[in-house]
A and B are shown apart, each in its own frame.
Chain A
């Protein structure tokens, strides 16, 4: 089997996957997206049968995946899944349609409409870019003054994406949220991401949030599997918040980071990922 790894930089996760691949007899052909040139109008002579897509860039991910899928590769995760996971508006729409509990969310395209949506949600609420990562430009809005300030900033930022207003109810989470890992049809482990002085109200471990093991329960596994049901089968990191009424899913990640989750959970996440890819490739 010819299996490729698409990446931008050799992150610790990518290194772990390459090492695990070697252990399991899977030698990755490497495709560095910095050096890739896609000859769009020419039929490629060969393409990898299987591709693990680990590009750091969402836009590059989509172009590369679309190209290779079009020419017959099986890409983990698929173009459809990447598109849905990478855009919070698509993801919220599909989660809600599938009956997965998710925070109440509005999408608006002008300052005036966004303010109406915020008034409807009440304070505090949250505004996020539809496309973005590591909680960048995710803001909690505590009052109307803050709302006006954020909306005006967005309006003059210049990027069309900043004028897509995704506003969401604020979930009063208990200083933590949950990141669960799904490989195929199995929830393999989960961590609590605990907010710290460094991370502020956000909990991303990349922003200073602390990781602790979160024991899997039937309820947690059920909501995770229901959430990934909106996507093609693949490898995902699901972000879940605890509320008085139960869990809510607020995001699904298609190129999940996992370096900070191995030690607290004791689960070799890279091993699970590679085993699954090998097993599915044989089918």
Chain B
């Protein structure tokens, strides 16, 4: 489990979660990047840029 840095909601950290993975807070919907595994550290994910996407 980890706390959402945006709303302090609780985020489940599943086994196999990797550095750099993007998680979504179930409470506020923020996209968060896993910046450290041990201990778990989450930060707001990079903003979507103009040329991102399919």
Q: Helix, strand, loop or mixed for chain B's interface?
A: loop
Partner of B21, one of A15, A32, A59, A131: A15
| A134-B50 Cα distance, complex, nearest whole Å | 10
Are B52 and A10 in touch, CB under 8 angstroms? no
Structural contact, A59 and B54, CB atoms closer than 8 A: no
Known: A9-B33, A9-B46. A133 touches B51 (CB 8 A): yes
Number of A interface residues in the complex (CB < 8 A): 25
Contact partners of B52 in chain A: CB under 8 A: 8, 56-58, 133
**A197-237, CB under 8 A of B: which get 1 and which 0?**
00000000010000000000000000000000000000001
- Complex contacts, B21 vs chain A, CB 8 Å: 10, 15
> Which residues of A are found within 8 Å of B18, using beta-carbon distances?
10, 15, 18
A237 touches B22 (CB 8 A): no
Indicate with 1 or 0, residue by residue over B43-54, a CB within 8 angstroms of chain A CB atoms: 001100111111
Partner of A257, one of B46, B51, B54: B54
CB-CB contacts of B15-27 with A at 8 A, as 1s and 0s?
0101011100000
In this complex, the interface size class of chain B, counting residues with CB under 8 Å from chain A, is 10 to 19
Residue A65 at the B interface, CB < 8 A? no
Q: Is the CB of B33 within 8 A of A237?
A: no
Q: Is A132 an interface residue (CB 8 A)?
A: yes
A136 to chain B: which residues have CB within 8 Å?
50, 53
Chain B residue, CB-CB nearest to A30: B20
- A58 pairs with B51, CB closer than 8 A: yes
Known contacts A9-B33, A57-B49; A133/B20 CB under 8 A: no
A10 contacts B20, C-beta separation under 8 Å: yes
Determine the chain B residues whose CB is within 8 A of the CB of A58 once the complex forms.
51-52
A sample of 22 cross-chain residue pairs with beta-carbon separation below 8 angstroms, ordered by A number, consists of A8-B46, A10-B20, A10-B21, A10-B22, A12-B22, A15-B18, A15-B21, A19-B16, A56-B53, A58-B52, A59-B51, A131-B51, A132-B51, A132-B53, A133-B51, A133-B52, A134-B53, A134-B54, A206-B53, A253-B54, A256-B54, A257-B54
- 4 more contacts with CB within 8 A, not counting A134-B53, A253-B54, are A9-B20, A9-B22, A57-B52, A59-B51
